[in-house]
Amino acid sequence: MKNILIIHTGGTISMLENKETGEIHTTNKHPLTDLSFHFNQYANITEHIEFSIPSPQITPEHMLDLAKKINEVRFEYDGIIITHGTDTLEETAYFLDLVLEVDIPVILTGAMRSSNEIGSDALYNLVSSIRVAIHDDAASKGVLVVMNDEIHAARNVTKTSTSNVATFQSPPYGPIGILTKETVIFHHTLLTRNSYPVENIRKNVFLLKAYAGMDEKILDAIREGKPDGLVVEGLGQGNLPKETLPALQRILDADIPIVLVSRCYQGIVQPTYGYDGGGKQLKEMGLIFTNGLTGPKARMKLLIGLETKTNNSIREMFEEEY
């Protein structure tokens, strides 16, 4: 049997429902530990509690601590599973995918319903993750997310519903594999993957969503905050109201890189439109276009890029994939 490490970080999968009030709360002991007989049949399991916090409280520093823990024990186990709250699970998964250089399976999983709720997906998702982690085809695929009988690449997966157990999807690419009752099936894989190991996360990157009627004021306020970088979720294929252009230029003049993604949940930003504020003009100004990343993931990538790269190499870092 393979040796699998489960690292617990908190989240709904680690919580219990108060049957009187309906509130979900943290516990002093992981509720799935007493159910280990369900997954010990698949592998030799070791459990470790790294921290126990709701995922809205997860920071990039926590993510870096996780990466260092994985690097510390990578040769002791055949696979590593991280249980995590779903609110920021995709950000932690993508951060780890960017900084880790490991061949063993690294899988994140969570739950939309705590262990004692009716229809809980907590135990099922954990067992599914173990089944994927011990599968030979799961190696060398980067960090994976296993939820609701599907296997997703960290780069593409996102939470799409506030409460549905089928919340994690990978638009427009779909999952890279599925689970059935009897087997694990990988039906495609990523063609490229790049790693950027870092020792520290010290930069400050803001994330801003564009909106109709947006002007200079909010961008000037952000510049006054002296960020190290800015990610803007633009409109459509990567456009912004023309009233934002002077403020964007002031941010660029302050040597603050601006990464542009779309606020649409599918598609890739492109320099298609030539009107004032259109993507063509924004790219010519110096905004960095992404290749299909969401705003939160682009922020993770920019945080990492700022640790080791110049503005020119940061641009190449965002353009090299897909």
The string of DSSP letters for 144-186 reads EEEETTEEEETTT-EE--SS-TT-EE-TTT--SEEE-SS-EEE
Q: Name the token pair of 43.
A: 């592998």
- Taking the C-alpha atoms of residue 216 and residue 220, their distance in angstroms, rounded to an integer, is 6
Q: Report yes or no: 50 and 73 within 8 Å, Cβ to Cβ.
A: no
The catalytic residue positions are 12
Residue 210 main-chain phi, psi, to 5 deg: -75, 155
First to last CA, the chain: 36
Q: Report yes or no: 300 and 58 within 8 Å, Cβ to Cβ.
A: no
| Secondary structure string (H, E, C) spanning 191-205 | CCCCCCCCCCCCCCE
Degrees to nearest 5, angle at CA 203 with 224 and 220 = 15
Beta strand 229-234 with 258-262: parallel, antiparallel or unpaired?
Answer: parallel
Write the DSSP symbol of residue 103.
Answer: -
Max Cα-Cα span within the chain: 62
- Among 204, 215, 220, which Cα is nearest to 307's? 204
